[in-house]
Structure formats: structure tokens, C-alpha cells
Amino acid sequence: MVPTIINAFGIGIQFFTLEYIRNMKKKKHPSKESIKGSSKLGGNKSNSKREITTGFYALAFIDVLSQRDKLSQITAIPHSNEQKEIFLEQWRETFGVIDEYRTMFGKFFDTFATYKPPKVSQLNSEQAEMLERLMKSEVKKQGFSDSMIYYVPLMERSDRLNISSIHNLLLGCAGTFLIGLAEKIICRGGIDVGIAGEFFRGEIYGPALYQAYHLESERAQFPRIVVGDEFCKYLVSEMNWPGNSIGTMYRRMWAKECADWIMTDVDGTQILDYAGPITKKVFPSLQNSVDLALNFAYEEWEKFRMQGDVKLAGRYYMLWNYLATRREQVWK
């Protein structure tokens, strides 16, 4: 069973612990498999010589909310200085928010270069060099409108460990989501593993994208990042990777830390624990962001409750409850 902790508000939260993950079916994940071919699948003959690799990807789909209503207010080109200032402010509240969010993601991904993995004693220079090579990280990105896609190819490579990039993906999602809430930027997201291909340069297409989008649009329901079953199965596979080499040891340790970033919310949904212990371990300076996010969630809950909007009030209560619980148990 998944362990349950009763928080100060009398509501139980279930945590997706390492023990629970290990009790899942231990089956080697097919994520290392891939197939190569030309891009003759499409009708663009100019790309027919470009080789396309399709395989398994880990993918995060992030959507910034409340943009539609704000964009609907931009209806005309301004003519007076007063209209121009209003016009520019409308763009700051729409495009400016998207630009800020994407920039935050980039900064968090960059911090991975300075975040040191757990040390393994008695490494000689050759082993240390090998470890540095294996810890390389690559998170690709694609954006359109108010949605952002971040993805990691999972096909095995000799010069790096994919789990390092997975860790970086979760690190970026957790840090950006928390700071975004602190700055009153409302988002939802979904993370999963599935098959896809980079049929166009800089773009990903396939079931993996649909799976993550489905988690964001159908399962999340309020500001949180839902984690899919295939992603969890991938982590189980990595945590049970056989062998005793330096690279294998780090693969398992990194996978464990990634698994510790996942919890089961009060409604049984697996989510990214963006204000949990691993976030505090990696970014201990985000205490103030937790407080600001908690205050924002409470304000939104109160606003919708006073308006009689039961649906949104309930959703923001769940957000507030999650943050209040993490504030009490993790950031006290």
C-alpha cells in the first residue's frame, strides 16, 4: 500500500515512496529501443535524405493558464499614447508572462551544470573523467503559443546517462513551477514516457506528446504537474539496472532521487512534488517562494469561495492544501 500521512488540516496525503515504486512490476523498460529511417514518411521530398530516429522519449507538456481571457482583450491597434500604453501592458501580461516562464526554465536547466551529484569515494582520475562524461545532460525544448514542451530522448548513448537528463527535466519543472506560483503565474503540466520522433528539426511528434498533453489537459485539473505511469515504470527500470560499475551506481542513485520527486496526491493522482524534500535539497533558498505560493493559493481559494464558484474553489483548496502540507512538513 501507499503510505498515508495525515497533515495538520486533517487530510491524508499519500507519498510515492521508493519502497512503493520497487513493489511495482520490475520489468525492463523498452525505452532503449529505437528505429532509424529516412523522412520519406511525409510528402516533403526536400527532406527525404534526412535520417529520422524514432524511439522512446520522456516529455513534459506545460501550459500557462488564464491567457485566453487576456488575449481576447487585445482587439485593436492603438492610435493615441494612452491606448498605446494599455496595449503594451496587455502584451506584458500575456507574452511577457510566457517569455518569463520560458526564461525561468532555461535558468533552472543551466543550474544542473553546477549541481554536484552524490560523491563516490576512491575515484581515480580516469573514473572521475568517465563520471563527468556520463553526467552530461540534454533537455530539448519546443514552444508554441502559451504551451511549452521539454523532452529527453531515451535511446542509449555511450557518452552520457539519460537519467541525468531526466533529473534535469524534473529539476527544471519543479523549480519553475514553484517560482511561477510565487509570482502568480498559473500553470498545469503532464510528464510521461512514450514513443515519438523528431520528424522536423526542433520539433517532436508522436504518442509521447499526446500522452503528456492528455495528463495536462484532462488529469491535472488545477495547477500541478501530473506524472504518467510509463514515466514511473521507466524510473523503476533505471533503479533496478544491474551491475556495479560507476556509471550503473550513478544511474540507480539518480533514478532514486527522481522517484523521490513523485508523490500521490489526495485524489490518487501521481504528481511532481515540486515543493517537496528533493526541491528543498537542490534549491534550499526557495523558502520564500513556498510562502508566496501558499499565500497566492489561499487568496485564489478565498476569491472563488466568495464568488460561489464551487468548482474552482475546490481546486484551489487542493492546491493550498498541498502547499500548506509541504510548508509544514518540509520547509518548517
Three-state SS at 107: helix
- Of the listed ranges 154-158, 190-194, 287-291, 302-306, the one predicted with least confidence: 154-158
Q: How many CB atoms lie within 10 A of CB 176?
A: 27
Q: Which domain holds residue 86?
A: 4-329
Instruction: Give exposure, 193-231, as e/b (b: 16+ Cβ within 10 Å).
Output: bbbbbbbeeeebebebbebbbbbbeebbbbbbbbbbebb
DSSP string, 192-250: EEEEEEEEETTEEESHHHHHHHHIIIIII-SSSEEE-HHHHHHHHHHHT----SHHHHH
> Is residue 70 predicted with pLDDT exceeding 90?
no
Q: Are strands 262-264 and 140-144 parallel, antiparallel or unpaired?
A: unpaired
The stretch 42-46 carries a mean pLDDT of 53
- CATH code of the domain containing 265: 3.30.70.1230
Q: 1-22: per-residue pLDDT in tens?
A: 333 333 322 333 333 343 444 4
Contact 34, 16 (CB under 8 A): no
Distance CA 99, CA 94 (A): 9
- The model carries a pTM of 0.79
DSSP string, 286-313: GHHHHHHHHHHHHHHHHHHHHHT-HHHH
Contact 152, 57 (CB under 8 A): yes
Contact 114, 157 (CB under 8 A): no
Q: 134-189: per-residue pLDDT in tens?
A: 777 888 888 777 788 999 999 877 777 889 899 999 999 999 999 989 989 888 99
Burial zone of 138 (CB within 10 Å; 0-12 exposed, 13-18 middle, 19+ buried): middle
Distance CA 19, CA 105 (A): 31
Instruction: Write down the pLDDT at residue 236.
Output: 94
Helix, strand, coil distribution of the chain in percent, nearest 5: 50, 20, 30
Number of compact structural domains in the chain:
1
